[in-house]
Amino acid sequence: MSIGASGSGFQNEMFQCISPGASYALTAGAASVQGIEEYNSKSDARAGAETELQTLSGLPFAEFTPLGSVIFETRNSYTNAVKGRVVSTDTGAPYEDKRATYFRPDTL
């Protein structure tokens, strides 16, 4: 099964950002925001995470504090159901630390 056929909407051999964060407005207190862009490389994905976080809109809660961004890689050859995995950043870090970042998406 190819990535497109699995319903994920991700292209084969691409990178995407997922940013877990916290919000007082959520019952669970935490949520992950999936990026909407796809990138050709880890470095592009890491740089794109900042842009995606700064342009968040339409979230169902007013405040969101990102804790970090992880990079998700897709490949048709991966044998798991989603055909993807979390990978290190281009600098070798397991994730991009965003704990010092604070913003309100509704004021952007």
pLDDT in tens, 19-44: 888 877 777 778 888 888 999 999 99
Q: Round the average pLDDT of the chain to a whole number and report it.
A: 80
Residue 88, pLDDT above cutoff 80: yes
Q: Is the pTM of this model over 0.85?
A: no
Using CA atoms, how far apart are residues 98 and 8, in angstroms rounded to an integer? 26
Say what the pLDDT of residue 89 is: 93
- Least Cα distance to 9 among 85, 84, 95 occurs for 84
State which amino acid sits at residue 68.
G
Distance separating alpha carbons of residues 59 and 43, to the nearest angstrom? 26
